[in-house]
């Protein structure tokens, strides 16, 4: 941050809270969504922005119809705000490093598909390092990409790392995708079912843009077998419920099926060339300086993750 900017910010009596609120509104293009993200009321967000603009002496947003846009001053301030927050995050990381692994903060984001074992991983890590405060966000692939672009979490657990974002990733475990059906489906007792049998079947699938969806489509394309989507779902839980109800077949990570296989509500079909083998990655923004806590968690994942997978024999 330039010295002149520092002098001006101090002279204008801008608070870090105002910078935080402004950054959220500018990034999300919404007062409402910023309020939800920051756990504030919308009037509270509006008041912070009004006070910020009064200190600046220029409007930072303009409203056109129902949408808000950054003014020229707003765009300039947004760029400086991002730099300020980055410097503050670096300062916090240095301080946490001085404290060591026994305390500090850890921000982890996890793909919804990985949540079944990731929560157990985090619970075991928290038990080992009881002084660490953990923030966990379980979300979809598009949100994980956005978070990595903006250097928000310390680490991300997901499938294939996103393209177009400069990241560092390490594979720590296999992630087999299996074909599932209701236990009442006639195919449940068949063996080595030819893949071409499913050319006319309709599948319950994740939404477009999902890493699992893309991997499945590539697999069928590479084998020259048509893949028909019947129903799109936004979560693996919804897919499993739809398959159990007989609305179609599904293809999901085997790591999401612990309870359903144990209770016999769903079965994994014995299909030629299955499973579709993918991998779990632990991902961070390239060049990111990990705190001792984040480094410890990364190593914990690499060493311990397979122990937290539970499937019937």
User: How far are the Cα atoms of 18, 19, 300 from residue 15, in angstroms, in the given order?
Assistant: 5, 7, 38
Instruction: State residue 6's pLDDT score.
Output: 44
Instruction: State residue 8's pLDDT score.
Output: 47
- Give domain status of residue 25, yes or no: yes
Alpha-carbon span 107 to 197, nearest angstrom: 45
Instruction: State residue 97's pLDDT score.
Output: 63
Alpha-carbon span 142 to 209, nearest angstrom: 7
CATH label of the domain that carries residue 229: 3.40.190.290
- SS3 labels along 3-33: HHHHHHHHHCCCCHHHHHHHHHHHHHCCHHH
Which of 133-169 are b and which e, b meaning 16 or more Cβ less than 10 Å from the residue's Cβ? eeeeebbbbeebbebbeebbbbbbbbbbbbeebebeb
Instruction: State residue 190's pLDDT score.
Output: 93
CATH label of the domain that carries residue 137: 3.40.190.10
CATH label of the domain that carries residue 71: 1.10.10.10
Alpha-carbon span 231 to 209, nearest angstrom: 15
- Average pLDDT for consecutive 10-residue bins of the chain (313 residues)? 43 81 93 91 93 91 90 93 86 68 83 89 91 91 92 93 92 94 92 93 83 88 91 88 92 90 92 94 93 91 88 66
| This prediction's pTM | 0.65
Is residue 218 domain-shared with residue 283, that is, in the same domain?
Answer: no
Q: How many CB atoms lie within 10 A of CB 124?
A: 14
Helix (DSSP H) and strand (DSSP E) numbers for the chain? 11, 11
Task: Supply 74's token pair.
Answer: 């707003």
Q: Among the three residues 96, 116, 140, which one is the final residue of a domain in this structure?
A: 96
Alpha-carbon span 152 to 208, nearest angstrom: 24
Is residue 115 domain-shared with residue 254, that is, in the same domain?
Answer: no
Strands 276-285 and 167-182: antiparallel
- Give domain status of residue 252, yes or no: yes
In which domain, by residue range, is 89 found?
A: 3-96
Please, which residues have CB within 8 angstroms of residue 76's CB and are 6 or more apart in sequence?
A: none
Are residues 41 and 116 in contact, defined by beta-carbon separation less than 8 angstroms? Answer: no
Is residue 192 domain-shared with residue 256, that is, in the same domain?
Answer: yes
Instruction: State residue 101's pLDDT score.
Output: 62
Alpha-carbon span 264 to 275, nearest angstrom: 19
Instruction: State residue 313's pLDDT score.
Output: 58
- Give domain status of residue 147, yes or no: yes
Domain count, the chain: 3
- Give domain status of residue 213, yes or no: yes
């Amino acid at each position: 941050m330039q010295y002149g900017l520092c002098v001006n910010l101090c002279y204008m009596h801008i608070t870090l809270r105002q910078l935080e609120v402004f950054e959220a509104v500018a990034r999300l293009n919404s007062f409402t969504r910023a309020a939800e993200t920051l756990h504030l009321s919308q009037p509270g967000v509006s008041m912070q922005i009004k006070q910020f603009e009064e200190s600046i002496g220029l409007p930072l947003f303009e409203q056109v119809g129902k949408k808000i846009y950054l003014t020229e001053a707003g765009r300039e301030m947004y760029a400086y705000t991002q730099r300020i927050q980055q410097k503050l995050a670096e300062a916090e990381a240095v301080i946490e490093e001085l404290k060591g692994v026994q305390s500090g903060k850890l921000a982890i984001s996890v793909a919804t598909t990985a949540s079944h074992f990731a929560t157990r991983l985090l619970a075991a890590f928290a038990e080992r390092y009881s002084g660490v405060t953990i923030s966990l966000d379980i979300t979809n692939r598009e949100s994980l990409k956005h978070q990595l672009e903006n250097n928000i979490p310390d680490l991300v657990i997901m499938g294939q790392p996103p393209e177009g974002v400069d990241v560092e990733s390490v594979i720590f475990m296999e992630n087999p995708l299996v074909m599932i059906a209701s236990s009442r489906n006639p195919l449940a007792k068949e063996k080595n079912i030819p893949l071409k049998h499913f050319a006319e079947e309709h599948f319950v699938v994740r939404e477009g843009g999902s890493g699992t969806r893309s991997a499945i489509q590539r697999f069928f394309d590479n084998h020259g077998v048509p893949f028909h989507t019947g129903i799109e779902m936004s979560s693996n839980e919804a897919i499993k419920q739809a398959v159990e109800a007989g609305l179609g077949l599904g293809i999901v990570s085997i790591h999401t099926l612990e309870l359903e296989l144990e209770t016999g509500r769903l079965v994994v079909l014995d299909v030629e060339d299955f499973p579709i083998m993918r991998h779990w990655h632990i991902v961070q923004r390239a060049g990111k300086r990990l705190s001792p806590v984040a480094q410890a968690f990364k190593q914990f994942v690499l060493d311990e993750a397979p122990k937290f997978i539970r499937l019937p024999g």
